[in-house]
Structure 1
Amino acid sequence: MRHIRVIYSFCLIILCLLAWCGKAVAGELSERLTNFPQWEQLTSVKPATGDLVYPDWFAGDWQVTSTLVDLVAPLAPDIVTPGFEANRQQLNQPVSFLVRFISEKPPITELKLIPKIDNKSTILVADRAFNSLNLARAYLGDKAVLSVKADPNSPNRQITLLRGDRQLVSIVSARATETTSDDKFITSEVFQQLFKGGSQPYFNSVESTTAYHKLATSQPAIEADQVTAVYLSPQDPDYFTAGSRPVALYRYRLEFFPATRG
């Protein structure tokens, strides 16, 4: 159970930098963040296809500071997820790590999915393996995390290999994005997680909604408001009791500072 609590904490703060899909109804994602913690069900999303395309102002290397600022267990005391109480220790404790966004040519099969992109253009995407590895080691320690492998056939799937023959498989299933006129880029991702290596596999579903805001002249250059909601999988004995409601909500403040490659 201790292994589940540790990896569960990591699952909750993972930056969702994986897949692209169509835009949400204007204002829906922004309103969802405003309504925290009154979340009753998953937001409106579409099946994830291809890679998440970021605005140009994400380009480059960043030193990110992530701070857990609030956590809620809506169905407590009847249902409390593994590790929830332990995660209180992370409250208001900033954690820093490096992330990177790079330009690449989209696969030909995906050009028709991305408006205004042709076969001569490039798109800005997250360096998924690099970002996830740095994030995991920042929270779990360098020795605990062996590597992160991105599926070469799908940007929606990656595997984090941990010491002790354990691994976390993350599969993005759905996503929505929203762009506003005031330099805001909002994403909502839903992904399935499977932790293998304990006495029995552990499943859950996670929704992460993040509003990124480009700042004009101040530092940090980008700030973000992120809420991660945890939903029980059908394998959980409390699944029908919880219904469509999240069993845990975590709110983070993210700050992006320009970093220089060393």
Structure 2
Amino acid sequence: MKAIWSLCLVACLYFGWSGNAVAGELSQRLASFPQWEKLTSVQPAVGDLAYPEWMGGSWQVTSTLVDLVAPLAPDIVTPGFEANRQQLNQPVSFLVRFIKENLPVAQLKILPQIDDGKSKTFIADRAFNSLNLARAYLGDTAVLSVKVDPDSPNRQITLLRGERQLVSIVTARATETTSDGKFITTEVFQQLFKGGSRPYFNSVESTTSYHKLSTSNPAIEADQVTAVYLSPQDPDYFTAGSRPVALYRYRLEFSPI
């Protein structure tokens, strides 16, 4: 069960596109940690996420869990929460990359100077990034592969040893650019873990604020909060309501390769 929950957390990075959030909502959300409720202003996930040009390229990322909270404890505590406490302040490193891609203008609302029906922009290499991330946390032999649906960048399957798999579907997102240049994304996932004694469902939200630094190592830092919500299949679903049952806060540092 610890492996399931670790994988549910690490599967939440580097997915795709959404519309803009209400001005300042996402930055205020990070500032209000851990007093969170479910987001209601996100938009349905369509297409892919266009990242700022300064995020393009390959990066060595160091991810450090700096805080974790179980807001509804002791009444409701997610499986693996206490085990994940062992990761506190333990840096984990992995490779990611953001690549150029041609996207239709309709998917690039936040980008200027579009004049040819298509424009080059940077998107996450989702399969590459998620595979490296999952193996960094779970081990090289535990994670066999990551497959992205060729018809939808919002659906991803992580194949594990023992004929287990995690299906992650991005259902909604929002983005925000602050006056001081931070790029903030929120992504909401529905997740299904298959291969155990019974299928396990949950809902996860990942909110990340990226900030370009004046230094080269690291060149980008990010503040990320992952919130876990119960699914309707869980017997404690109505007790939890719109509140998360677990919150994890990470510090991310990107160094160029």
Global fold match (TM > 0.5): yes
Q: How many equivalent residue pairs? A: 253
Shift of 1:14: 3.1
Q: Which amino acid aligns with 1:256?
A: F
Deviation string 1:123-176 (CA, Å, 9 cap, x unpaired) is 210000000000010011110000000100001001000000000000000000
Indicate which of 224, 232, 243 corresponds to 2:241.
243
User: 2:3 is paired with a residue of what secondary structure?
Assistant: helix
Indicate which of 248, 254, 257 corresponds to 1:256.
254
Q: Does residue 1:78 correspond to 2:72, yes or no?
A: no
CA–CA separation in structure 2 for the residues paired with 1:113 and 1:100: 21
CA–CA separation in structure 2 for the residues paired with 1:113 and 1:154: 14
CA–CA separation in structure 2 for the residues paired with 1:15 and 1:202: 16
Greater shift, 132-141 or 216-225, is seen at 216-225
Residue pair 1:13, 1:228 contacting (<8 A) in 2 also: no
CA–CA separation in structure 1 for the residues paired with 2:88 and 2:13: 20
CA–CA separation in structure 2 for the residues paired with 1:16 and 1:28: 20
User: 1:89 is paired with a residue of what secondary structure?
Assistant: helix
TM-score, normalised to structure 1, is: 0.94
User: 2:18 is paired with a residue of what secondary structure?
Assistant: coil
The equivalent of 1:63 in structure 2 is 60
CA–CA separation in structure 2 for the residues paired with 1:168 and 1:239: 21
CA–CA separation in structure 2 for the residues paired with 1:119 and 1:127: 23
Residue pair 1:158, 1:170 contacting (<8 A) in 2 also: yes
Structure 1 unmatched ranges of 5 or more: none
Shift of 1:42: 2.5
Deviation string 1:67-124 (CA, Å, 9 cap, x unpaired) is 0000000000000001000000000000000000000111xxx432322444342121
The alignment yields a C-alpha RMSD, in angstroms, of 1.2
Q: Which amino acid aligns with 1:33?
A: L
5 Å-filtered alignment, 1:76-225, equals 76-106=73-103, 110-115=104-109, 116=112, 117=114, 118-225=116-223
User: 1:122 is paired with a residue of what secondary structure?
Assistant: strand
CA–CA separation in structure 2 for the residues paired with 1:242 and 1:152: 35
Shift of 1:44: 2.1
CA–CA separation in structure 2 for the residues paired with 1:165 and 1:26: 44
Q: Which amino acid aligns with 1:143?
A: T
Residue pair 2:57, 2:98 contacting (<8 A) in 1 also: yes
Shift of 1:17: 1.5
Q: Which amino acid aligns with 1:59?
A: G
Residue pair 2:77, 2:246 contacting (<8 A) in 1 also: yes
TM-score, normalised to structure 2, is: 0.95
Q: Which amino acid aligns with 1:91?
A: L
Q: Which amino acid aligns with 2:144?
A: L
Residue pair 1:184, 1:213 contacting (<8 A) in 2 also: yes
CA–CA separation in structure 2 for the residues paired with 1:151 and 1:98: 22
The equivalent of 1:23 in structure 2 is 20
Identity across the alignment (%): 79
CA–CA separation in structure 1 for the residues paired with 2:118 and 2:40: 34
